[in-house]
Amino acid sequence: MNLNHVEICRGLTSNNFAQSLVAQLDRKGSLSPKQEYWVEKLANESIVAKVPATNAVTGLDRVNDIFDDAALNLKYPKIVIQFADGTDLKLSLAGPKSRYHGAVQLTDGRPFGENQYFGRVENGELILTRDGGARAVELESILRSMSTDLGTFAKMHGQKFGNCCFCRKELTAGPSLNAGYGPICADKYSLPWGEDVAPEAAKVMRPWARSVDAQVAYDEGADITDGASDDEK
Ligand SMILES: [Zn+2]
Q: 117 forms bridges with which residues in the sheet?
A: 107
CA of 9 to the centre of ligand 1 (A): 47
More confident residue, 11 or 55: 11
pLDDT reported for residue 180: 94
Q: Which of 140, 162, 188 is the last residue of a domain?
A: 140
Per-residue pLDDT, averaged over 212-220, amounts to 43
CA of 16 to the centre of ligand 1 (A): 54
pLDDT reported for residue 222: 38
The model's pLDDT over 94-128, given as tens digits with 9 standing for 90+, comes to 999 999 999 999 999 999 889 999 999 999 999 99
Q: Which of 140, 170, 185 is the last residue of a domain?
A: 140
Length of the chain: 233
CA of 119 to the centre of ligand 1 (A): 24
Distance from C-alpha of 159 to C-alpha of 55, rounded to nearest angstrom: 34
Q: Which residues contact 171 (CB under 8 A, 6 or more apart)?
A: 158, 162, 163, 164, 177, 180, 181, 182
- Are 14 and 74 in a shared domain? no
Helix (H/G/I), strand (E/B), else coil: 36: helix
CA of 147 to the centre of ligand 1 (A): 18
Sheet with 125-128, side-by-side order of all strands: 78-82, 88-93, 104-107, 117-122, 125-128
pLDDT reported for residue 48: 58
pLDDT reported for residue 49: 57
More confident residue, 188 or 14: 188
CA of 185 to the centre of ligand 1 (A): 4
Residue 55 lies in a domain: no
The residue type at 208: W
Q: Is the pLDDT of residue 200 over 60?
A: no
pTM: 0.62
- Among residues 167, 147, 145, the alpha carbon closest in space to that of 156 is found at 145
Helix (H/G/I), strand (E/B), else coil: 214: helix
- Are 151 and 212 in a shared domain? yes
- Are 106 and 167 in a shared domain? no
Q: Is the pLDDT of residue 78 over 60?
A: yes
Residue 56 lies in a domain: no
Distance from C-alpha of 48 to C-alpha of 140, rounded to nearest angstrom: 12
Helix (H/G/I), strand (E/B), else coil: 210: coil
Residue 81 lies in a domain: yes
Torsion of CA 36, 37, 38, 44, to 10 degrees: 110
Domain that holds residue 206: 143-232
CA of 125 to the centre of ligand 1 (A): 27
pLDDT reported for residue 151: 95
More confident residue, 98 or 225: 98
For residue 148, give the H/E element and its range. Answer: helix 136-148
Per-residue pLDDT, averaged over 71-94, amounts to 96
CA of 167 to the centre of ligand 1 (A): 4
Helix (H/G/I), strand (E/B), else coil: 139: helix
- Are 225 and 147 in a shared domain? yes
More confident residue, 30 or 106: 106
How many domains are contained in the chain? 3
pLDDT reported for residue 173: 87
- Are 81 and 136 in a shared domain? yes
- Are 222 and 153 in a shared domain? yes
Per-residue pLDDT, averaged over 22-35, amounts to 91
The model's pLDDT over 149-178, given as tens digits with 9 standing for 90+, comes to 999 999 999 999 999 999 999 999 889 999
Q: Is the pLDDT of residue 214 over 70?
A: no
CA of 202 to the centre of ligand 1 (A): 16
Q: Which of 140, 156, 173 is the last residue of a domain?
A: 140
Let me know: does 205 contact 187? Beta carbons within 8 Å.
no
Residue 187 lies in a domain: yes
